[in-house]
A and B are shown apart, each in its own frame.
Chain A
Amino acid sequence: MSDLFKNKVHLVRMAGLFLVGIVAFVILRWWMVPKSFGEYGHYRGAALGEIASLPMHYAGRAACEECHTDIVAQRKGSPHEQIGCETCHGPLLAHAEAGGEPKPALPDSRQLCPRCHSASPYRPKGFPQVVVADHAPEGQCTACHNPHAPKIS
C-alpha cells in the first residue's frame, strides 16, 4: 500500500459507508414508493382508480327529479332551488335504484335547518338567521315553513 493511500484508508472507508447509506436509501425508495407515484402528479396514480371503484352512495339531483316532479315545481324560484336534494335528505342512490323503496326517513328539521339558519355573526348580512330558542322554542321548523319553498304563506 502506498504511503499516500495508507493515510487516507479511513476516509475511503467512511466514503464507502456513505455510499452504502445512499444505496440503502435508493433500495428503500424503490421498495417503499408505490410504482404509480408521480404518474399524474405528486400522488399515487393508482389512487384514482381505487377511489373511483369505491361504492357510490349519492344518486344526484337529476335522478331525484325524474320521479319527484311535484317537488321540482315547488322549488322553482325558491331560495332553496339550487340546493341539492341529498344535502338535506342524505345519500339516496339505493332508494333511486330500487325504484323508490325503501322510503327514506324525513330529516329532523330542528337539527337540520339551524345548520344554515342559526344566528351567527359569520353569516352574510341579509341571510335569513334566527336565534332558534327565541324564534321557535319547540316543534319542527317544517310545521310553519315548507323546506322546498321556504316562505310562510
Chain B
Amino acid sequence: MGSVLPAVQGFMYPNEVELQWSVLIVLYPYITGLVAGAFILASLERVFNVEAVKPTYRLALLTALAFLIVAPLPLQLHLGHPERSIEMYLTPHTTSAMAMFGFVYLWYLMVVLVLEIWLDFRKDIVLTWRASRGPKRWLYGAMALWYDNISPEALAVDDRVGKAITVIGIPSAFLLHGYVGFIFGSVKANPWWSSPLMPVVFIFSAVVSGIAAVMLLYMLTAWWRERKFDIACVDTMARFLFFAFVIDFSLEMLDLVHRIYEADESFRALDFMVHTKLYVSQIIIQIYVGTVVPLALLGLVQLVRLSPRVRSWIYWIAGSLTLIGIFAMRWNVVIGGQLFSKSFLGYTAYKMEWATREGLLPAILLMLLPFGILYVLVKLLPPWPAKPRKGDATVM
C-alpha cells in the first residue's frame, strides 16, 4: 500500500487506496467473453445454417472449450485456496450471484460444450478408434464410450440432438457472459459499473471478441498447416464481426450518452478520470485503436472491392486490434471502477506487480494456457478434414 500512496490524488477512503481486483479479474471477463463469442459464432452455422462459416464451426467449439477450461483459474488464483471452490457446489448459496455462476459454468461446460463437441466429433472419434492400436485405441474407445455405431441413422440422431443442444447453448452463452456483466452492473455502490446496460454490452462485446478470436485462429491455423484459408469464410466472419461491432459500439455510446445527459453526482469525477488516468487505456486504446480503426477497416471491406490479399491483411489487423480493444474495455471496467473514491474527491492508481500471485507474469501464463489446451484438443480432435482413411465409408 505504501508504494501506491504517492500516486493518490485528492481524498481516498483508507479501503480504496489499494485495488482489490487485479489484472486477473480483467482476464476473467475477457476469457469468458471469448468463450461465449466463439460459441455464438459456432451456433450461427448450426442453427441459422450459415454455410460460409462452416469451416470454422469445429475450431470455434474447441476454442470455446479451451478458454472455458481456463476461465475459472484467474478467479481461483485471485481468491487463493482453490481447493475450496468445490464448496460452492456442495453448499450452494442461492442468494449469491457469484455462487450460482458455478452452476452456470458447469452447465455450460458439460451440457453444452462437451456434449456438443462429442456429438459433432463422434464419427471421427469412432474412425480413429477403429484405426488405432495400443493406448491410443483405448483413449478413443473411451471417448466413443465403446460404441462404434456411426451409421447414417445414428449420425442423424447425433445431428438432431446436437442442434437441440446448440439451441439451448445460445441462451446459455448469453447467460454465461451476461452474468459477468451482471456482476459489475449490479454493484449499485459503484457508479462506473452500476448500469442495467452492462450485461448487454458485455454480451455484444463477447460476441465481437469471440468472432475476432476465431477468425484470427482460423487464419493462423491455416498458415500453420501451410494451407490456404477459405477467404469467403473469413469474409463472412468479418461481416458478422463488423455488424456485431457496430451494435456493440452503439450500445457503449448509448451508455456514454446516457451518463453524460443524466450527469448525476458521480459524473464530474468519472469524466475527470476518463480524461486523466484512463485516457490512454480508454480513449486511445479502447475507443480509437480498438474500436474506431477496426470498424473503419472492416467497413472499408464492406464498401470497397479489395483483392483477397489486401482483405486478409485487413482482417489480420482489424481482428488483432479488436481483441486489444476488447481487452482494454475489460481493463477499463474492472480497473477503472476502482480508481476513484466513493467520495468523488480523489483517485488512486493501480500498480501491477510482475512475478507475484496476481502479477503480470501469471496473467500472461493464464492467457497462453488456453492456446496450449487448444493445441492438445486439436491434436485429439482435428477440426479440419483429414486425408481419407481406411474405414471411412464403413457403416454398421
Contact = CB atoms under 8 A, between A and B. Distances in A.
A11 B86 CA distance: 28
Given A7-B153, A11-B161, A122-B14, A33 B91 contact: yes
Given A32-B90, A42-B93, A11 B149 contact: no
Given A7-B153, A8-B157, A122-B14, A13 B90 contact: no
B154 A7 contact: yes
Interface in B166-181: none
B122 interface: yes
B145 A13 contact: yes
Interface string A112-136: 0000000001100000000000000
A121 B8 CA distance: 15
B149 A14 contact: no
Q: Is the interface of B mostly helix, strand, loop or mixed?
A: helix
Contacts of B90: 28-29, 32-33
Given A25-B89, A28-B90, A33-B90, A10 B149 contact: yes
For chain B, which range describes its interface: under 10, 10 to 19, 20 to 34, or 35 or more residues?
Answer: 20 to 34
A46 to B, nearest CB: 14
Contact of A7 (B118, B144, B151): B151
B248 to A, nearest CB: 36
Contacts of A28: 90
Nearest to B111: A18
B12 to A, nearest CB: 10
A9 interface: yes
B378 interface: no
Interface string A3-28: 10011111101100110010001001
Interface string B118-161: 10001000000000000000000000111101010110110001
B49 to A, nearest CB: 23
Interface of B: 11, 13-14, 86, 89-91, 93, 110, 115, 118, 122, 144-147, 149, 151, 153-154, 156-157, 161
27 contacts: A6-B154, A7-B149, A7-B153, A7-B154, A7-B156, A8-B154, A8-B157, A9-B147, A10-B122, A10-B144, A10-B149, A10-B154, A11-B157, A13-B145, A13-B146, A13-B147, A14-B115, A18-B110, A21-B110, A25-B89, A29-B90, A32-B90, A33-B90, A33-B91, A38-B91, A42-B91, A122-B13
Given A6-B149, A8-B157, A32-B90, 6 more contacts: A7-B149, A7-B153, A7-B157, A13-B146, A14-B118, A42-B91
Interface of A: 3, 6-11, 13-14, 17-18, 21, 25, 28-29, 32-33, 37-38, 42, 121-122
